[in-house]
């Protein structure tokens, strides 16, 4: 596939409620600096604005962001607003609430009555009157009914179109669905970074028509810090067989998990953007997927994926 033929369309589509998105989306976490929550060196503004515009030109219409994605002089939401406003009619922007950061970078978690302020801040930064999708990011295994109920009230008030949940168990998903419709679940999930019960939750979402949106599909256990320098040999072998990169294999495997699975790889590098989108057209064999499936999650092993910006 040449750069002239790479588009997000090759990954197929899914629906978030009444909104149709291409399954290969874009995550905004890495737009703001050398690290996603780095208050030191900011990103190259013109470069990342160009990456956002190029992503949309190439068919991406699902962008994942959050008001707490900011670094020194950079806010992911405001970069999105600057690069893409006025927004294309089919562009779906998903954001998250629950966690918050102050100007010094210190974290806090919102009480239910504080969620409205977080929603309004996302509206302001993105320049929107209504947010397409808001995920409640969950901390721990307790009840989420009160927090999700607060977001359901904001949905009824017209500030939010659709609701999702992030970092949840099957029980928490069931609790949320008893309060209001859920269009997506955003959990950590990758070739070799699957938590106990993740496969079952992924299948449950598919049966219910809910999108499953893995984060850290490339970074794996490296999480916000990014992937490690040494690749898993099974991933490397599959990549070599296809003339692809390890990151592309990881994304292709992610999409292979079901038609309801969406990918949101993020980068501030235009070359990596093209490589990520090209992964939407990479088709792995059943044998290759079985070998990758077998990697599972071993907490004693370091993350093996290759470093990506």
List residues with catalytic annotation.
Answer: 69
For residue 172 the two structure tokens come to: 């928490």
Q: Report whether 189 contacts 218 (CB < 8 A).
A: no
CB-side neighbour CA atoms (13 Å) of 3:
7
* Rounded Cα gap, residues 190 and 177, in angstroms: 25
Q: How far is CA 68 from the centre of its chain?
A: 14
CB-side neighbour CA atoms (13 Å) of 231:
19
Q: Which of 282, 276, 210 is nearest to 26 (CA)?
A: 276
Regarding beta strands 160-166 and 184-186, do their DSSP bridges make them parallel or antiparallel, or are they unpaired?
A: parallel
Q: Residues 6 or more apart from 200 whose CB is under 8 A from it? A: 170
For residue 257 the two structure tokens come to: 């998990």
């Amino acid at each position: 596939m040449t750069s002239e033929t790479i588009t997000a369309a090759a990954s197929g589509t899914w629906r978030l409620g009444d909104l149709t998105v291409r399954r290969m989306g874009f995550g905004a976490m890495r737009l703001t600096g050398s690290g996603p929550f780095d208050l030191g060196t900011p990103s190259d503004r013109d470069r990342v604005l160009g990456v956002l515009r190029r992503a949309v030109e190439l068919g991406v219409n699902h962008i994942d962001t959050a008001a707490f994605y900011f670094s020194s002089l950079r806010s992911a939401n405001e970069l999105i607003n600057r690069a893409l406003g006025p927004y294309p009619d089919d562009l779906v922007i998903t954001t998250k609430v629950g966690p918050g950061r102050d100007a010094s970078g210190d974290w806090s978690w919102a009480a239910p009555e504080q969620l409205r302020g977080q929603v309004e801040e996302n509206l302001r930064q993105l320049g929107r009157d209504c947010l397409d999708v808001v995920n409640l990011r969950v901390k721990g295994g307790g009840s989420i009914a009160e927090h999700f109920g607060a977001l359901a009230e904001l949905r009824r008030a017209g500030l939010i179109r659709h609701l999702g949940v992030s970092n949840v168990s099957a029980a928490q998903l069931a609790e949320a669905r008893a309060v209001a419709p859920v269009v997506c679940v955003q959990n950590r999930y990758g070739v070799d970074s699957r938590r106990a019960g993740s496969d079952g939750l992924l299948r449950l979402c598919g049966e219910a028509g809910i999108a499953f949106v893995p984060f850290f599909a490339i970074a794996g256990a490296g999480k916000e810090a990014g992937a490690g320098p040494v690749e898993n040999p099974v991933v490397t072998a599959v990549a070599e067989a296809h003339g692809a990169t390890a990151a592309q294999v990881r994304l292709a495997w992610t999409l292979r998990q079901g038609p309801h699975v969406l990918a949101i790889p993020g980068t501030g590098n235009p070359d990596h953007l093209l490589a990520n989108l090209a992964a939407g057209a990479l088709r792995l064999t059943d044998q290759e997927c079985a070998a990758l499936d077998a990697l599972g999650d071993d907490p004693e092993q370091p993350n093996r994926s290759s470093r990506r910006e």
